[in-house]
Amino acid sequence: MVMDAGKWCIVRLGDDYNWWVHEASDDTFCDTESGILDPKQIERMTELLDQLKQYGLDDEVVNGAFIPYAIDREMLKEMFRLYEVKDNILSPRERIFCLPNSSGEQEGMFTEFIDHIMSLRIKLLNASFDFKQPLNLEEVEDILHAERQERYIAGIRTHAFDEIMSILDYVPAGYSLDADIEGDEEDKEDIDLLEFEEEEEESLKVEGDNPGDW
């Protein structure tokens, strides 16, 4: 795995069990406010993205939407220092974190990714169900936007993973996809970020690290 030793970020585990960026060497092209995806979230995302391949999933759009990072070391409890690496998001060579790639402008690469998977999810749903009227992009966007607004009003930060999954898991009321049901059951059993943290602690050999050095 190729690394860029000059680019790093420090992430912390939030009360919501999502990882958030605490500090970064350069946030010019990174949306640090949206959080960072951990290895298990990336695995779940790629499983659902696989369903969209037959509808035209663009690997370049997926890889361009994220900046991959690997663990450098543990700084404090529930806080890691990561360094940027060059890897394929859809088939990483090892466990990585992924930071949304954004220029800070409305039309960033992560935004392009969100628009891309939204369009393909709608294609999948229209091909899977015999709707009286086919789903259209504006209709689904309005529904998901309303859900995000409710979270905002309630004072809940929307993590990048939540935004992605709201699209990849979306099914109109009264409908269901078997693959989504199976995925939900796997999530309940498998997505345990505290367990992930314990696994990483065992794999890291940290002796005498001083966060102040960084």
99 vs 56: CA distance, rounded Å: 24
- Count of the separate structural domains present in the chain: 1
Structure token pair of residue 56: 């035209």
Domain presence at residue 214: no
Q: What is the mean pLDDT of residues 145-169?
A: 89
Domain presence at residue 49: yes
pTM: 0.78
Contact (Cβ atoms closer than 8 angstroms) between residue 29 and residue 164: no
Using the Cα atoms of residue 204, residue 16, residue 125 and residue 178 in order, give the sign of their dihedral.
positive
Closest CA to 99 of 109, 91, 107: 109
102 vs 95: CA distance, rounded Å: 22
Residue 202 has a pLDDT of 62
Average pLDDT, the chain: 82
Domain presence at residue 34: yes
Closest CA to 4 of 20, 36, 32, 26: 26
Identify which has the larger pLDDT, 161 or 180.
161
pLDDT higher than 90, residue 186:
no
3 vs 54: CA distance, rounded Å: 32
Q: Print the domain residue range for 10.
A: 2-209
Q: Over the stretch 143-152, which tens digit does the pLDDT of each residue have?
A: 998 988 888 8
Domain presence at residue 135: yes
205 vs 142: CA distance, rounded Å: 48
Share of the chain above pLDDT 70, in %: 75
